[in-house]
Amino acid sequence: MKPILLQGHERSITQIKYNREGDLLFSVAKDTVANVWYSVNGERLGTYNGHTGAVWCVDCDWDTKNVLTGSADNSCRLWDCETGKQLALLETNSAVRTCGFDFSGNIIMFSTDKQMGYQCYLNFFDLRDPQQIEDNQPYLSLPCSEHKITSAVWGPLGDFVIAGHENGEINQFSAKSGDILKKVKEHSRQINDIQTSVDLTMFITASKDNTAKLFDSNSLDHIKSFKTERPVNSAAISPIMDHVVMGGGQEAMEVTTTSTRIGKFEARFFHAAYEEEFGRVKGHFGPINCVAFHPDGKSYSSGGEDGYVRIHYFDPQYFDFELEA
């Protein structure tokens, strides 16, 4: 399994995202650039230039028309995927931490950080209404007073947003009314990442409390737990196998120079049903900040604190693998 190494960032990777077909891979980092790559050979297609701060999040809509990025320069920007042209600039009072298109690609949500005396807000814009964009007036803006949102994804059918908070709480916010529909607290520390399954019926959370957990999207029932010894920065669900991949490592500031030899920075594969770890993939020279499965399940990518994105294509043995119970 020889990885394809993508060198397009000068600072640590914050998020990577495939489009729905999986032919494109988007990567954003703390160096203001958003890159898009061909996932099949690692060739860079282009960049989305305009942000002036670290870019925290990226998303792409269903038919790969538009790209959304959120940044520490207090803005969320909408781009034309093909040309790289900036279509909209939504300015905020604090850094934009998470962003996402709903299933239709018409509604976007993004959350802002609680910093410099400003609240954490979850904002909803309807892209079909140019007035909202022009006036920078979301049709729904929800304050999260107690604990800021650290990761968020759209639920099935675009009815609600599933948000993870810095105290380990998970909330469902209705995109219509703004009410909190459901609330659970299964994690004891901050939720670093939330990713949905391919059919949006389940989602996996990655937390600083050294675990990743699988939940039902509608009921928020806790289904499975995957335990490690270190904070989990990101976790993803395979679209074709009962597998999850997790990436993590210590906090970037606690990393010592020897730790790559000991192998702290591996991507770890767990069986989703048995909660057993069955494989690891080495590679990054620093904590893994984000992982993503290709939509066809035949490869996965990881982005690290070292500024590299690695695309790994699975060997044929991987698909025949059976876990002995």
- Return the bridge partners of 67, or none: 60, 79
- CA distances (Å), origin 194, targets 121, 183, 278: 18, 15, 22
Domain that holds residue 139: 3-318
Domain assignment present for residue 171? The answer is: yes
Q: Average pLDDT of 66-70?
A: 93
Number of other residues whose CB lies within 10 A of the CB of residue 224: 17
- CA distances (Å), origin 222, targets 170, 182, 225: 11, 13, 8
232, 247 Cβ separation under 8 angstroms: yes
Cα separation, 215 vs 93, in Å, equals: 32
164-192 core/surface letters (b: 16 or more CB in 10 A; e: else): bbbebbbbbbebeeeeebeebebbeebbb
CATH of the domain at 37: 2.130.10.10
Q: What kind and span of H or E run contains 261?
A: helix 259-262
Q: Average pLDDT of 94-99?
A: 91
- CA distances (Å), origin 173, targets 109, 143, 163, 183, 234: 11, 11, 8, 9, 22
The string of pLDDT tens digits covering residues 192-217 is 999 999 999 999 999 998 999 999 99
Cα separation, 123 vs 116, in Å, equals: 18
Predicted confidence (pLDDT) at residue 260 exceeds the cutoff of 70: no
Domain assignment present for residue 323? The answer is: no
Predicted confidence (pLDDT) at residue 28 exceeds the cutoff of 60: yes
Domain assignment present for residue 324? The answer is: no
Q: Which residue has the higher pLDDT, 265 or 317?
A: 317
Residue 320's pLDDT is 87
Least confident of 28-37, 62-71, 252-261, 316-325: 252-261
Both structure tokens of 151: 């990761």
Both structure tokens of 258: 């020897």
Q: What kind and span of H or E run contains 243?
A: strand 243-248
Residue 238's pLDDT is 94
26, 310 Cβ separation under 8 angstroms: no
- Amino acid at site 163: A
Count of the separate structural domains present in the chain: 1
Cα separation, 23 vs 306, in Å, equals: 24
DSSP 32: S
Output the pTM of the full model.
Answer: 0.90
Q: Average pLDDT of 301-323?
A: 89
293-321 core/surface letters (b: 16 or more CB in 10 A; e: else): bbbebebbbbbbbbbbbbbbebeeebeee
pLDDT, averaged across the chain: 89
Predicted confidence (pLDDT) at residue 262 exceeds the cutoff of 80: no
Q: Which residue has the higher pLDDT, 263 or 142?
A: 142
Cα dihedral 224→229→235→239 (10° resolution): -60
Residue 255's pLDDT is 58
Residue 254's pLDDT is 62
Residue 133's pLDDT is 85
Domain assignment present for residue 254? The answer is: yes
